[in-house]
Amino acid sequence: MKGRTLGRHLKEGGKNLVRNGWMTFASVSAVAVMLFVVGAFVLMIMNVNHFASALEDDVEVRVFIDLTAGEEEQEELLNELEELAGVEEIAFVPKDEGLDSLIASLGDQGDIFETLRDENPLNDVYVVHAENPEETEQIANEAEELANVDGVEYGQDIFEQLFTVTNFVRNAGFVLILGLMFTAMFLIANTIKLTILARKREIQIMKLVGATNGFIRWPFFIEGLLLGVIGSTIPIGILSYAYVRFYDTFGQQTGIEYFQFLPQNPLILQMGALLIAIGAFVGVWGSMMSVRKFLKV
């Protein structure tokens, strides 16, 4: 396509937006509302994911080695653990180190345990990380069956609840977003259908004088794109502002190690890019849907 033709298409597409004043307004609003909800969900889901993965990273199976096990038997156990399905990494924590960190974690009161240095009652521990946090439970169960294992520990309860909640949020968000996308798409399709009805004669004449379908489609393509992109700017503005305010207020002070909100940068940029992309996609798809029928003259 030649440059001046693109210029013509841009002009025509823009003109259509103005010509259809109210329908343009309706479609842009629909896209804006849809993307607002999508954007809010994206912010929420990203944060939930962030919490979840912080937790998941911390999920580990602690395998306590029998106090009676000698070096050879420990070695053997290590090999057996390594052969379990889904094991990513195994770290050995000798009982002295275990005691060190116990004392350190208790602060001043930890000093009482210093007396235990000579007669350490703790077990040597293998700390096992799973490749996939969801396999943790299985690994723990299998490890428990092995010889020379005194016991196995992992955060059973939190764990299952965590997965239920995060999966639910993700799925619900996804379904909602899809539903809204379709709604907005049909609204745009309808707007453009009106444009086309008004220009049916023009399209007919264009076809008669030898315009290709591509040539006819372009202005509508641009119109849809503009509808979608304009519709995305409004929610991006509102959500960015809201999140910045939110983060300024609550960002640093949750106090709980795992529950840190994602910083505004790059989250807002990602959300913005995603909304523009969805807006553009919905706009273009909607317009192409309605043009297709009219081109079969």
Catalog residues that contact another protein under the rule CB under 8 A. 1-2, 4-5, 8, 201-202, 204-213, 215, 297
CB of 28 to another protein, least distance (A): 24
CB of 213 to another protein, least distance (A): 7
Residues facing 127 on adjacent strands:
62, 91
CB of 12 or CB of 150, closer to another protein: 12
Rounded Cα gap, residues 207 and 153, in angstroms: 74
CB of 197 to another protein, least distance (A): 15
CB of 2 to another protein, least distance (A): 5
CB of 10 or CB of 48, closer to another protein: 10
Choose among 268, 194, 265: nearest CA to 227: 194
- Residue 65 has φ and ψ, to the nearest 5°, of -90, 140
**186 Cβ neighbours under 8 A, 6+ residues apart:** 286
CB of 8 or CB of 95, closer to another protein: 8
CB of 58 or CB of 202, closer to another protein: 202
CB of 159 or CB of 215, closer to another protein: 215
Choose among 53, 30, 289: nearest CA to 183: 30
CB of 226 to another protein, least distance (A): 21
CB of 19 or CB of 170, closer to another protein: 19
Token reading at 220: 């509508």
Rounded Cα gap, residues 151 and 161, in angstroms: 23
Rounded Cα gap, residues 214 and 165, in angstroms: 48
Choose among 110, 63, 69: nearest CA to 89: 63
CB of 5 to another protein, least distance (A): 5
DSSP assigned state of 212? -
Rounded Cα gap, residues 213 and 288, in angstroms: 12
